[in-house]
Amino acid sequence: GINAVFMQTYVGGVSCPYICSRRLDHGVLLVGYGSEGYAPIRLKPKPFWIIKNSWGEGWGEKGYYKICRGRNVCGVDSMVSTVAAIQAN
């Protein structure tokens, strides 16, 4: 999950807000990560998570969001779930 307050105005780049609540209010899918993406608010490259959102391809970067990694920004590291697939015979 994530606190989606900064997602509502996201248009691209790496989102790295200085202040964002860690109270989760939106489910998202973490699909990858990057080591250096430009974060406009920080004026330098930062490591980031790649998140797939449910708001469609017209939002963000074709439906994806990049957020700073390693600082629990907007609570993204607070509640992580995973699924293990079992192949049926």
The question of whether 89 is a catalytic residue gets the answer no
Give residues with Cβ within 8 angstroms of 61, minimum separation 6. Answer: 12
pLDDT on residue 55: 92
pTM of the model: 0.81
- The structural domains of the chain, ordered by start, are 4-75 (2.40.50.170)
pLDDT on residue 20: 86
Which one of 3, 26, 72, 89 is the catalytic residue? Answer: 26
The question of whether 53 is a catalytic residue gets the answer yes
Question: Tell me, what DSSP letter sits at residue 13?
Answer: S
Query: How confident is the prediction along the chain (89 residues), in pLDDT tens digits per residue?
Result: 888 888 888 888 899 888 888 888 988 999 999 988 877 777 788 899 999 999 999 999 999 999 999 888 888 888 788 888 898 88
Which one of 3, 53, 72, 89 is the catalytic residue? Answer: 53
CB neighbour class for 46 (10 Å; exposed up to 12, middle 13-18, buried from 19): buried
